[in-house]
Amino acid sequence: MRIVVHGQQAFGKAVLEALLKRGENVVAVYAAPEKEGAKADPLKEAALAAKLPVFQPDSYKKPEVLAEFKALKPDLQVMAFVTLFVPEEFLNAPTKGSIQYHPSLLPAYRGASAINWPIIKGEKETGLSIFWPDNGLDTGDVLLQKKTPISGTDTLGTVYFDRLFPQGVEAMMESVDLVKAGKAPRIKQDESKATYEGRCGPGNAKIDWGKPWEQIDRLIRGCNPAPGAWATLDGKTLKIFDAKPLPAKDPKGIAGKLGEIVAVEADGFTVVCADGRFKVTRVQPEGGKKIDASEFITTAKLATGARFT
């Protein structure tokens, strides 16, 4: 079976390498075009190392791009982390079609930030889907799904890198086997259960210290490592990546103004929220790198009484 791998970044590279390790007949790779001055995409580098032809069109709507793709005579297109829109004619060109990875349990959490939002919204479970893409956004028939729990300490990073990334590579291999065997299902998505979430960016990641600790905690975890939950201190943005919630048990637990720093210790600082406090231990100052809160305390000369605005 002639396979074309289509994707980008570390996940695309991992899928390509897994297919090659199994001895699959990968005939070409499609990767996202790099921005000017950017490093080569990891998937592209892996493809070139394997001496595979690499294509990087900036649009899949051009007739010449489709003709070039058809000339490869693909049987299956394996899509691992694809962000450009790919029209249905291109998707259906391989004799057995195209399959795509999405990090949620479709039809829930369609969209580009499908890992952030389940954490932010307090879901106890998420997962991944391998599906047959069509002209819609994450709307095609489902081939298979895998589930994983979300714990009270999970972050975007742990859910993805520890579970959805490796499980996704394995699920892609399982899906390729099902396609080869002619046993790959096409399960219609239940539109009555569909949800779409927009991109989780800086505009969604601002911390409101007037919210309950559970909401703030989920926001911080759901935005770690990207886009990074943030608040403003002394007129500058401070991203907060690690913070331990300290729910109030009595009035003393919320003594102080909302957003006020009421304790500064060697390993972090404590901020007041609506129903408790947070011990912040890892941050990123505006224009700087991620650092331990202890270092920020020293460089910013942080003291009690300072307040996030």
Q: What is the pLDDT of residues 146-158, one digit of tens each?
A: 999 999 999 999 9
Q: Residue range 115-126: average pLDDT? A: 98
Task: Give the DSSP letter string of 249-266.
Answer: SSGGGG-S-TTBEEEEET
Angle, nearest 10°, between helix axes 42-49 and 9-21?
Answer: 30
Q: Residue range 194-211: average pLDDT? A: 96
Q: What is the percent of the chain with per-residue pLDDT over 70, rounded to a whole number?
A: 100
Q: Residue range 216-233: average pLDDT? A: 98
Question: How confident is residue 36, by pLDDT bands cut at 50, 70 and 90?
Answer: confident
Q: Which residue has the higher pLDDT, 189 or 34?
A: 189
pLDDT single digits (tens) 56-71: 999 999 999 999 999 9
pLDDT > 90? residue 40: no
What residues have CB less than 8 Å from 6, skipping those under 6 apart? 12, 29, 30, 31, 77, 78, 79, 80, 82, 86, 98
Q: CATH homologous superfamily for 202-300? A: Formyl transferase, C-terminal domain (3.10.25.10)
pLDDT single digits (tens) 151-181: 999 999 999 999 999 999 999 999 999 999 9
Question: How confident is residue 34, by pLDDT bands cut at 50, 70 and 90?
Answer: confident
CA torsion through residues 38, 41, 42, 45, sign: negative
Identify the burial level of 222 via C-beta atoms within 10 angstroms of its C-beta, where 0-12 means exposed, 13-18 middle and 19 or more buried. Answer: buried
Q: Residue range 253-278: average pLDDT? A: 96
CATH 3.10.25.10 location in the chain: 202-300
Q: Residue range 293-299: average pLDDT? A: 97
- The position carrying tokens 């009595």 is 250
pLDDT > 90? residue 113: yes
- Locate all alpha helices (DSSP H) within 82-161, ordered by sequence: 88-91, 116-120, 156-157
Strand pairing report for 261-265 and 2-7: unpaired
pLDDT > 90? residue 252: no
Structure tokens at 96: 């057995």
Q: CATH homologous superfamily for 2-193? A: Formyl transferase, N-terminal domain (3.40.50.170)
Q: Check if the beta carbon of residue 261 is closer than 8 Å to that of residue 306.
A: yes
CATH 3.40.50.170 location in the chain: 2-193
User: How far, in Å, CA of 247 to CA of 275, rounded?
Assistant: 6
User: How far, in Å, CA of 39 to CA of 13, rounded?
Assistant: 15
Question: How confident is residue 253, by pLDDT bands cut at 50, 70 and 90?
Answer: confident
